Amino acid sequence: MESFLTIAQILVLLLLSGVAVYAMVVLVKLRDLLMTVDSNLKQVATKAMPTLDNLEAITSKIRNIVENFDEQIAVLKSSVDTLKSVADNVAAFERRVQDAIESPIMEVMNTIGGVIRGFTSFFNRAVGGRSSRTAEE
């Protein structure tokens, strides 16, 4: 029985040695993997810094462009408002001119029409001896 225990102890020690060796192999591989990750992160950091700096510069330029665009929109809005005001003033002026000219012209046309009707009636009576109204009836 004692020899069985000795053999079991040797077997357990061999198994523990095997597990220890396996753990060392795994830890070496883990260390290599961590070193690779570390070097990759350093490469990413060195390459990302200029990109981030460029991104910051681009963002600053875009901000300036947007601010200038906002200013130009305000100027354009002011110009459009001024143009609208001018168009409204021209339309109002047109109405005033039309009102001022239209009624005297209509009076002159009515007067000319009356004079022409008078001459027509006069010539019809002088020539034919009757008025244009009796000819129409």
**Averaged pLDDT for residues 37-42:** 94
Cβ pair 124, 131 in contact under 8 A: yes
**Four-point Cα dihedral 86, 87, 93, 97, nearest 10:** 150
**Averaged pLDDT for residues 70-77:** 90
Element (H, E) at 101: helix 2-128
How far apart are alpha carbons 2 and 71 in whole angstroms?
98
Predicted model pTM: 0.41
pLDDT band with cut points at 50, 70 and 90 for residue 38: very high
DSSP string covering 72-84: HHHHHHHHHHHHH
Cβ pair 131, 125 in contact under 8 A: yes
Q: Which residues contact 120 (CB under 8 A, 6 or more apart)?
A: 132
**Averaged pLDDT for residues 17-30:** 96
pLDDT beyond 70 at 129: no
pLDDT beyond 70 at 137: no
How far apart are alpha carbons 9 and 29 in whole angstroms?
30
pLDDT band with cut points at 50, 70 and 90 for residue 130: low
Q: Which residues contact 125 (CB under 8 A, 6 or more apart)?
A: 131
Could you report the per-residue pLDDT of 83-127, keeping only the tens digit for each? 999 999 999 988 888 888 888 888 888 999 999 998 898 888 888
pLDDT band with cut points at 50, 70 and 90 for residue 128: confident
Phi/psi region, residue 129 (left: phi>0; alpha: psi -120 to 50; beta: rest), is: left
